[in-house]
């Protein structure tokens, strides 16, 4: 079973990503070769991936906090517990880069990335892709691409449809691993498995 946040990632977010890919195909065609007029679509796809993953991470954090708070035996205590677990989260202020995710999930006593890396091999490589995505997202959003390229702060050096698809694939696996680790943590706290 999956959390609502993961189900939304797999349905709503995936449909939005498919729309961008269909627009890409309509503008650039589907045959191999260099594509013109698609760079802005690649930038839009990058922004959408980062935004939707942040929404997923925030929702998963809130669902986990809710599951933990529901384990309290007193309604007032449950409300206080939920508030302390969700108040002023890093994901509300910052992008969903690995450090902000780690900060927020640490509230549950999790070393989230250590657990995610144990959950599935090569998740450390996928986390590097998340960093690259968020770095590109910030360069696009702050109109800072040329300056970051000069400083060597962007990897890869350009974004293509294949780059976005690679990021999407990495995020799909990370989302599944994060979802499982969060549910495992609830169970380790002596609660019923929430999803």
**Ranges of each domain in the chain:** 4-25+36-188
The whole-number average pLDDT for the span 119-148 is 97
Pick from 46, 175, 79: which is nearest to 119 by CA? 175
* pLDDT computed for residue 104 by the predictor: 98
Structure tokens at 186: 């609830």
Report d(CA 56, CA 128) in Å as an integer.
18
* pLDDT computed for residue 36 by the predictor: 63
Report d(CA 161, CA 5) in Å as an integer.
25
* pLDDT computed for residue 32 by the predictor: 60
The whole-number average pLDDT for the span 152-180 is 96
Whether pLDDT at 99 is above 80:
yes
The whole-number average pLDDT for the span 23-49 is 82
pLDDT band of residue 151 (cuts 50, 70, 90) is very high
What is the average pLDDT value for the chain, to the nearest integer?
Answer: 95
Report d(CA 125, CA 131) in Å as an integer.
10
CA 25, chain centre distance (Å): 25
Whether pLDDT at 34 is above 60:
no
Whether pLDDT at 180 is above 90:
yes
Contact of 171 with 127, CB cutoff 8 Å: no
pLDDT per position as a tens digit, 40-79: 999 999 999 999 999 999 999 999 999 999 999 899 999 9
pLDDT band of residue 31 (cuts 50, 70, 90) is low
Q: Maximum distance among all alpha carbons in the chain?
A: 63
* pLDDT computed for residue 28 by the predictor: 72
Report d(CA 13, CA 26) in Å as an integer.
20
Say what percent of the chain tops pLDDT 90: 91
Transcribe 30-42 into DSSP letters. Answer: SSSS--SS-HHHH
Structure tokens at 88: 């002023």
* pLDDT computed for residue 35 by the predictor: 61
């Amino acid at each position: 079973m999956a959390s609502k946040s993961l189900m939304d990632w797999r349905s709503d977010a995936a449909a939005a990503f498919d729309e961008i890919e269909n627009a890409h195909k309509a503008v650039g065609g589907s045959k191999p070769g260099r594509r013109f007029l698609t760079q802005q679509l690649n930038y839009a796809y990058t922004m959408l991936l980062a935004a939707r993953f942040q929404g997923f991470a925030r929702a998963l954090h809130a669902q986990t906090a809710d599951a933990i708070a529901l384990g309290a035996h007193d309604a007032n205590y449950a409300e206080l517990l939920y508030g302390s677990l969700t108040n002023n989260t890093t994901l509300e202020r910052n992008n969903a880069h690995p450090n902000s995710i780690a900060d927020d999930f640490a509230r549950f006593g999790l070393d989230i990335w250590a657990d995610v890396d144990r959950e599935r091999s090569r998740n450390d490589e996928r986390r590097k892709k998340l960093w690259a995505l968020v770095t590109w997202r910030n360069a696009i959003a702050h109109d800072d691409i040329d300056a970051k390229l000069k400083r060597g702060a962007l990897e890869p050096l350009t974004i293509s449809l294949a780059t976005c698809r690679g990021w999407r694939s990495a995020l799909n696996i990370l989302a599944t691993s994060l979802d499982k680790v969060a549910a495992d943590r609830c169970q380790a706290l002596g609660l019923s498995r929430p999803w």
